[in-house]
């Protein structure tokens, strides 16, 4: 079921999204060589709770897995998404994807960024630039009357034209009343197909882009998704509101 949100519900979602954006900005500013992913997670959780909100990912479970142990997904280098915070220290030249979800007033916000640790290779730099740009190209398509795969097609075309590959096993989603709602928003697809977009939908659009092949595998922890060939991966995400005119990005400070 695809939910159309009321103005009051959108205001609640907007508040959760603001906290998401501020958390990502804070955690991202603390990314540097020598910092552990657990330390980043604690910075994120403390900030979320200081806003009288709940880290949406902490304890979240899917497919019978134990609840996710962190508040921030910290995915390093070849980790696509769902990296578990721990004792691993960041090194110069790494890239780290930070994914944050927030629950406040019973409504959710969700966003992600990928951050460079110091100086990174030209390949990684291009990967980050292309992935982030593909997100905004997808968002441009999220207007009332268009279709979900108009978003998907815009992302795929730009990513593949630049020599990278789109992860196909994972996708974006509706968000707001629940952390994950319909519709699924793949990052590949045929323009003009999929569910019709309507004013009042709130969507999490999130390209996940690999420098190598698009196939992925899951680590032994049951959560961390890795590129199958060990190539680096980037992830950018915004929660947006579909309107009759330009889509509104909600996960901004």
Helix (H, G, I), strand (E, B) or coil at 175: coil
Cβ(110)–Cβ(56) below 8 Å: yes
Q: What is the mean pLDDT of residues 244-248?
A: 93
Q: For residue 71, what pLDDT is reported?
A: 98
CA atoms within 13 A on the CB side of 151: 33
Q: For residue 201, what pLDDT is reported?
A: 98
38 pLDDT more than 90: yes
3 pLDDT more than 90: yes
Average pLDDT value for the chain? 97
Lowest mean pLDDT among 8-12, 134-138, 165-169, 241-245: 241-245
Digit-coded pLDDT (tens) for 55-99: 999 999 987 888 999 999 999 999 999 999 999 999 999 999 999
Q: For residue 253, what pLDDT is reported?
A: 87
Q: Distances from the Cα of 91 to the Cαs of 80, 208, 252, in angstroms?
A: 18, 22, 28
Tokens matching residue 204: 């999490």
The dotted CATH code for 7-246 is 3.90.230.10
25 pLDDT band, cuts 50/70/90, is very high
185 pLDDT band, cuts 50/70/90, is very high
Q: Distances from the Cα of 147 to the Cαs of 16, 79, 118, 175, 186, in angstroms?
A: 26, 30, 39, 17, 12
Q: For residue 75, what pLDDT is reported?
A: 98
Domain boundaries, the chain: 7-246
pTM above 0.95, yes or no: yes
Q: What is the mean pLDDT of residues 135-154?
A: 98
Q: For residue 39, what pLDDT is reported?
A: 98
Q: For residue 65, what pLDDT is reported?
A: 81
Rounded distance between C-alpha atoms, residue 63 and residue 156, angstroms: 28
> ∠29-35-41 over CA atoms, to 5°?
70
Cβ(200)–Cβ(185) below 8 Å: no
Q: For residue 62, what pLDDT is reported?
A: 81
Q: For residue 138, what pLDDT is reported?
A: 98
């Amino acid at each position: 079921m695809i939910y159309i949100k009321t103005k009051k519900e959108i205001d609640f979602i907007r508040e959760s999204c603001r906290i998401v954006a501020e958390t990502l900005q804070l955690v991202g500013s603390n990314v540097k060589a020598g910092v552990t992913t657990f330390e980043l997670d604690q910075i994120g959780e403390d900030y979320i709770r200081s806003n009288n909100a709940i880290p949406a990912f902490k304890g979240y479970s899917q497919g019978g897995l134990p609840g996710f142990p962190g508040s921030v997904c910290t995915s390093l280098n070849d980790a696509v998404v769902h990296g578990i915070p721990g004792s691993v220290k960041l090194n110069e030249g790494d890239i780290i994807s930070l994914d944050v979800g927030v629950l406040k007033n019973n409504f959710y916000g969700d966003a992600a960024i990928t951050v460079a640790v110091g100086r990174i290779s030209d390949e990684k730099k291009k990967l980050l630039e292309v992935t982030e740009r593909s997100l905004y190209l997808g968002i441009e398509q999220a207007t009332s009357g268009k279709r979900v795969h108009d978003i998907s097609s815009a992302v795929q075309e730009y990513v593949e034209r630049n020599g990278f590959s789109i992860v196909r096993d994972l996708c974006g989603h509706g968000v707001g009343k629940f952390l994950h709602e319909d519709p699924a928003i793949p990052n590949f697809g045929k323009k003009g197909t999929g569910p019709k977009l309507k004013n009042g939908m709130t969507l999490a659009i999130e390209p996940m882009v690999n420098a190598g092949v698009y196939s992925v595998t899951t680590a032994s922890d049951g959560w961390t998704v890795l590129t199958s060939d060990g190539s680096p991966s980037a992830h950018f995400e915004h929660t947006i509101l579909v309107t009759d005119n330009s889509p509104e990005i909600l996960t901004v400070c």
